[in-house]
Amino acid sequence: MDIAFRQQEKNQQDWNLGTVTDQLRISREVTHKIRHQGHIRELPSRAALEQILDGLRSVLFPTHYGRPSLTDESIDYFVGNTLNTSLNLLAEQVRRALLFVGEQGDSSEAGLSERATQITRDFAAQLPSVRGVLVSDLQAAFQGDPAASSIAEVLLCYPGTIAIIYYRLAHALYQLGAPLLARVISEIAHSSTGIDIHPGAQIGPSFFIDHGTGVVIGETAIIGQRVRLYQAVTLGAKRFPADENGSLIKGNPRHPILEDDVVIYAGATILGRITIGRGSTIGGNVWLTQSVPPESNISQAQTQNRNIL
C-alpha cells in the first residue's frame, strides 16, 4: 500500500499539476473567460434531461417505454407518479436554462423559480395534445413503410420515431420560452439517432422520417402535414446574411417551406427560403435552391439538364 501511494505521489509530481492548474485557472477566469454574462456557472444538466426524457416517453407511451407489465389498474398510478417526478426535475432544469434567456423580466431567484414553475405547468398541460400529434406520426410511419408490422414496432425500432418524440417535446419548451433547454434535448436526440431537428422548426402532424440517419432540419423550416423524408435529407440555409459589423443576423427565415404531402427521397439537399409545393416529390440526391409548384416531380437528371441549359 505504501509503495503504491508513493508511486501515485511521484506520478502526480511528474505531471507538474500545480503549474498546469494555475494556468488553467487564469485561462478560465481571465484570459479566455466564456461564462455567460461573465459569471453564470449553473448550467442545465444533460444527464438530468436524459432522465426526464425517459420519464416523459414513459408517460406518453407507458407500456412501450415504461413497464410492459402495466395493467389497467396500475397504469394511471405509474403515469401520475412518473409525470410528477419528471416535472419536478424539469422545473429545475428550466430554471437553470432561463438564466441564458435575455430580457426575461424579474431575474431574481424567486422570479426565475416562479417563471420556471409556470413554464413547466404549461408544458405539462400540452402533453395530451403532443401525444395526439405523435400518434398521427406513428400512424404515418406504419402506413408509409411496408416493412412496419405494427405500431409497437414503429415505437420500439424506428430512430425517426424517437427523434420526432424528442422534437415535439423540445418544440413545446422552445415555444414556451426555454430555447436552450430545447436545444439540449434536440442534441440528445441527434446523438442517439443521427437525426438533427432544430426545436424551432414548425412541423405538422403525420410526419414520417424513414431510416433517418443524417437528416437535418433547420431552425426556420416549416413542414406541412403528411410529409415524408428519407435518410440524409437536408433542409438547410443557402446563405447567412451579416450585419454592418460582420456578425451573422440571427432568426431570419432561411430554411425551406414544405407544403402538405411532400415526399423527399434519400440524399436530397433543399436550401434557402424556398417553397416545395403541395404533393411534390423530390428525388434522391437532388440539389434544390429554387421553389417548385405543387405536384412537381424533381429528379437529379432534371436538375442537371436545367443547369446545362
Give yes or no for residue 240 having a pLDDT over 50.
Answer: yes
3-state secondary structure of 247: coil
Please report, in angstroms and rounded to a whole number, the separation of the first and last CA atoms in the chain.
80
Distances (CA, A) of 26 to 20, 23, 32, 135: 10, 5, 8, 52
Where does the chain hold its CATH 1.10.3130.10 domain(s)? 43-195
- pTM equals 0.88
**Is residue 176 a contact partner of residue 123, using CB atoms and an 8 Å limit?**
yes
Q: Which range has the top average pLDDT, 102-116, 120-134, 232-246, 291-305?
A: 120-134
> In the predicted model, what is the mean pLDDT of the chain?
91
pLDDT reported for residue 303: 57
**Is residue 257 a contact partner of residue 273, using CB atoms and an 8 Å limit?**
yes
Looking at residues 241-265, what average pLDDT do you find?
89
Residue 37, all three cell numbers: 454574462
Looking at residues 239-249, what average pLDDT do you find?
78
Query: 173-194: per-residue pLDDT in tens?
Result: 999 999 999 999 999 999 999 9
Give yes or no for residue 13 having a pLDDT over 80.
Answer: no
pLDDT reported for residue 105: 60
Give yes or no for residue 206 having a pLDDT over 80.
Answer: yes
**Is residue 169 a contact partner of residue 61, using CB atoms and an 8 Å limit?**
no
Class of domain 214-309: mainly beta
Give yes or no for residue 118 having a pLDDT over 60.
Answer: yes
Give yes or no for residue 281 having a pLDDT over 50.
Answer: yes
Shortest CA distance to 254 belongs to which of 222, 220, 288?
A: 220
Residue 125, all three cell numbers: 398541460
Query: 152-178: per-residue pLDDT in tens?
Result: 999 999 999 999 999 999 999 999 999
Residue 59, all three cell numbers: 408517460
Where does the chain hold its CATH 2.160.10.10 domain(s)? 214-309
The band of 244, judged by pLDDT with boundaries at 50, 70 and 90, is confident
Place of cell 411532400: 262
**CA torsion sign, 140 to 141 to 147 to 148?**
negative
Residue % of the chain over a pLDDT of 90 = 75
Query: 43-195 maps to which CATH number?
Result: 1.10.3130.10
